[in-house]
Structure 1
Amino acid sequence: MSTRGPTLDGALGGLDVAALLAAGALAPSSHNAQPWDLRWRGGAVEVHADPARALPVCDPGHRELRLACGAATANVRLALRAQGRRAHVRLLPDPDDPWFLATITVGGPLPATSAEEALAHAIPRRRTDRSPLAGDGVGPRVREEIRRAAQRGRSWAIFVDGVPERRALRELTVRAHERQQSDPAFRAEWDRWVGGGDGDGAGLPRELARRAPRPDCTWRLRDFAASADPDDERPPAAPDDPALLVLATTLDQPIAHLDAGQALQHVLLLATVSGLAASFVAPPVEVGETRAELRRLLGGALWPQVVLRLGVRRRAVPPPPRRRTDGTC
């Protein structure tokens, strides 16, 4: 789909609108639920939340939904910049509609920077890699770039390096995971999206997800293939010693979640450009009790939004299924 029409700056020009919508749809989301509705209207891409794709058990306050839609917003903005246009982002544009989360309005001509082009080109290459990772490849230069990328998104990127801190985060992760796994409602929601999905390109198929992790998989606890034989004879898992990153914000409100989602996507794309793999350590920020303890671990002033594993990529990862994006013109 392409269009010629007025933009915010009153300019005319051909746009590849389909590319903007497709980029937005490549954002990460919990359970790959893809809880967004991307629309092209009046010279802008609108990002609406899709309540039908919310996760009421693991995300009752829709915080992770807003993170995902913030990441989609970042992708649309970068795709628009890659087409040489200014991008005017407005968050929560309609106070009467809490599901209307962002608009990205097309502005006048402005060449993209080399950094913006690199991030935009990384959008279709970004993957969630659940294999063991080696964090020694996340050096000082990349760490500083990640911190700056997070700060531009009004967020904080905090690396968890100390042995006591990593041990504490590990304990929170295990406790949160066990709490979730003991909840029948969580398991039912999990089974809906992992191994089934909605039949429309959302969710994670079992053949794509990794088999059940071994007990020695320190940070990868979730079983993406519950039907796997626990007695199968597999070679020992590679060491899983990733760099651990907590993305946090000073506020814990909808607009802060959208900011953090944009910062998250910039961090993930920067990791992709740097040849690194990433995946989520979700349990400690999905259970209220452990999230509060993680906040105290961070000093009490910041709200943890995301915990990431980062490290050197060891294997190629196939793309997850995606919903079709037609857009509304």
Structure 2
Amino acid sequence: MKNYFLNGKNLKTAYGITALQAEGSNLAISGAWDFPVRTGKCFHDWGDDDGIEPYVSAEEIRFAGRDIVFVGMVSAATEKQALVSCYKLYNDIGRFNSLVPFEAEGLGKWMVIVKSEIKAEYIGSGYCKITITFREPVCDLSGILPTNKLEYNPVTDHLDNPIYINNQPLHIGSINFDGYGIDGVMFRNLGLIILDFTGHFGRPAAKDGEYNSYQNEGFKITRHSAREITMKALIVQPGYEAFRAALKGLYKLFSKEGLRYITKENDFLRDFFVKDGFAVSDVNIEAKRVVAVLEMKLTEAKAWQNWSILTDANNNEIVTELGNIIIT
């Protein structure tokens, strides 16, 4: 069982609070790995066939904070002693006059405020379930942009005995690009296993329009609003550091200026941006892996019905160190 600390105090030893498990997780916290929503105006809709104008320059991309929720159980001998423990915590929180560190042992540290009501439900026999929602107003979104990784081929890749093609030695490792991913980086190198992809078949709702009506129901013909596609994916990593690195790579990718593009099997190529962040839920740390679910909305800027991967005269895919070359 991990220890959790608020402003340097161990919640268990200071207040008798034992960590519980967030819904779908084997940890007591949730929300700590979410990618926050953007602030300000993210796009302009000109109301014509050209669609929306995304605001994706570096100076236009700004982010809000994120909520981190902790669930625990106050353990005491009697109901009154449980109440005393709760009030001791509340009094300490009342003396905070700035951001304070909230730390989960082995998972990280976040500078937070207590955002809202602390919910406490007395269970009985001196036990009280407590839920604290923290707000991290400034999130660390640093990371390293993900790239396609070289994959070693034990049959052809030998340092001592290289194989030559057209008098040129094969490189040790190659990129086995499958054509599907984001910005040319394959889903597997983004750390994602796609579970669901919805909203791309339907037509978005029409925008509201102003009109005057007297005897009959009024109407106004308007264009549809921007298309939003929901992508749900599984993240599976061999350990917590790899899990966090994969997420930080996604932070870097989706906070980068400009539009992203996604290619998926049996779908159009879609230019998009992320304005609503993404949620990471059901985080489970196991002996040899970390598993979680990521869900995000992609706001579509344009869809390309006809796209392909550039090939040579013999129909062999042309691969660069960054992956395939996409043509539309």
Verify same fold: TM over 0.5: no
- Structure number with greater CO (CA < 8 Å, separation at least 6) is 1
Which has more strand, going by share of residues? 2
Q: TM-score, normalised by structure 2?
A: 0.24
Q: TM-score, normalised by structure 1?
A: 0.24
Which has more helix, going by share of residues? 1
| Structure with max Cα Rg | 2
